Amino acid sequence: MVFLLEVKDLIYILAVFMGFVTGTVLVIFGIRKRKSNVLIGFSYLSISYAVFLAFLISSGYHVLFPSLYRTGNIGALIFAPLAFIYIRQVLENRALKAWDLLHFIPSLVYFVDFFPIYFFTSLAEKAELIRSEIENPSVFVYFNQSRFFPPNFYTIARTLLIFIYWGASAQVIFRFGRSIHVSENKFGKEWILWMKFYLGSNLLLFVPFFIFSRYVDSKIGYDLIHFTGAIVIFLNSLIVLFFPKVLYSMDEVDLILAKTENSFPAAKEDSSPLNEEKIGEIENKLQMAIGNDKVYLKNGLTISDLSKHADIPTYLLTIYLNQILGTTFSEYINQKRVEECCRLIEDGNFKHLTLEGLGNSCGFNNRNSFITSFKKYVGTTPSEFVKSKTNPMN
């Protein structure tokens, strides 16, 4: 049998290959390091599988894989919930719960609807069904064998479901994106930037279909909902390559160690990047920068700024904070800022400032991050702390 592939088919194959590779990497490294990445990894795999079935339909080669008949829609229906749960878990740091399974009710309904075809139809019968519809891909995906819904219901419902989950994901990103940005956590900023690209490309999954499907013929309508899926996989798989900390589930210190492992001369076996002498040197320099110069009062201070001011290589400063102090840069700086606020309150040198002004004078970019950090390190809100100091008998 001679296989003839058009340019569009090659794009399908390339996108599916990239999607499967990216999803596999996310799952493997997610299992080892960051469990939430398993969710987005399976999201990549599920939509890649759905697009693979779309390729088989578009190219006419689906008849060679009759056992896969009507299975692609399951991958499409679980793709969006998986991505949403991943985003919510990362931003809200919440564990998976049993009721999260409710998100997969649409895919369960579809499975039950086509249960007889999956298990009670022979491969020969499935192949014959495929041959009867494969000439017109748009008709093929009308799901005419549905026992519960009218033709083309699933295509529209699936696209609407993706749109709803996209909106919910965007809302979660909008709500928490600012707090991650102002936390000055480098990984958090990178994650938000990647997620903006991710959600932006996912617009192709429903916007073209909703806008143009009424005005084009059925075959183009098929491409608007399926070939655009291949473009989305290709873009998302390509974009995530520029965010290795996301792809390989690396945190900041892992990345720095990975980058510097082969960048410095090999050390003696009894030495390390942070021996006692180096630790003492870093402590003295930090004392000058933090204790004397109070660089943490600068709004928008980054670890690079502190590194330059204290004359400590960034990679050593990061390792010191993570491995010696057991904290991160943002936590370390915010704790120093909170200590400064407490000192000002106890000394009474804040009465000309509002709470927002007090936080700003201590280096916080906004009221929310100030209150959150203050409560984390002091155990109470700034206003309650002020009240306890101004009315000690209460």
Contact between 166 and 199 under an 8 Å Cβ cutoff? The reply is yes
**Distance between CA atoms of residues 31 and 58, nearest Å:** 35
CATH code at position 35:
1.20.1070
**Is residue 46 a contact partner of residue 78, using CB atoms and an 8 Å limit?**
yes
Considering the domain architecture, whether residues 197 and 78 belong to the same structural domain is answered as: yes
In a domain, residue 268? The reply is no
d(C-alpha 310, C-alpha 304), whole Å: 10
For residues 192 and 157, membership in a common domain is answered with yes
Tell me the Ramachandran region of residue 328: left when phi exceeds 0, alpha when psi lies from -120 to 50, beta otherwise. Answer: beta
> What is the reported pLDDT for 259?
47
User: Are residues 142 and 184 part of one domain?
Assistant: yes
If asked whether residues 229 and 286 sit together in one domain, one would say no
- 257 domain residue, yes or no: no
Whether 61 maps to a domain, the answer reads yes
148 and 203 share a domain? yes
Q: Is residue 239 part of a domain?
A: yes
65 shares its domain with 183: yes
Q: Are residues 225 and 319 both part of a single domain?
A: no
Q: How many domains does the chain have?
A: 2
- Report if residue 267 sits inside a domain: no
Tens of pLDDT along the chain (394 residues) come to 456 678 888 999 999 999 999 999 999 988 987 888 999 999 999 999 999 999 999 888 999 999 999 999 999 999 999 999 998 888 776 778 889 999 999 999 999 999 999 999 999 999 999 998 888 887 888 888 899 999 889 989 999 999 999 999 998 888 765 554 444 455 667 788 888 899 999 999 999 888 887 777 777 878 888 999 999 999 999 999 888 878 887 665 555 555 444 444 444 444 456 788 888 899 999 999 998 889 999 888 888 889 889 988 877 888 888 888 888 888 899 999 999 999 888 887 777 778 788 888 889 888 888 888 899 899 998 888 888 877 655 4
Per-residue model confidence (pLDDT) at position 268: 41
CA 233 to chain centroid, in Å, comes to 15
Contacts of 197 by beta carbon, 8 Å cutoff, 6+ apart: 236, 239
Q: Within this chain, do residues 157 and 246 fall inside the same structural domain, yes or no?
A: yes
Residues in the chain: 394
What pLDDT is recorded for position 182? 40
Q: Are residues 70 and 219 in the same domain?
A: yes
377 in a structural domain: yes
Whether residue 1 is contained in a domain is answered as no
Do 37 and 186 fall within a single domain? Answer: yes
Give yes or no: residues 198 and 322 share one domain: no
Q: Which of residues 200, 215, 250 is at a domain's end?
A: 250
Are residues 183 and 285 located together in one domain of the fold?
A: no
Whole-number pLDDT of residue 326: 86
pLDDT at position 314 is 79
Q: Judge residue 364's burial from the number of C-beta atoms within 10 Å of its C-beta, 0-12 exposed, 13-18 middle, 19 or more buried.
A: buried
CATH assignment of the domain containing 367:
1.10.10.60
Q: Are 378 and 385 in contact (CB under 8 A)?
A: yes
The answer to whether the pTM exceeds 0.75 is no
Residue 161: the pLDDT is 95
Q: Could you list the residue range(s) of the whole structural domain that residue 375 is in?
A: 276-390
d(CA 357, CA 58): 61
Q: Report pLDDT for 263.
A: 44
Residue 36 included in any domain: yes
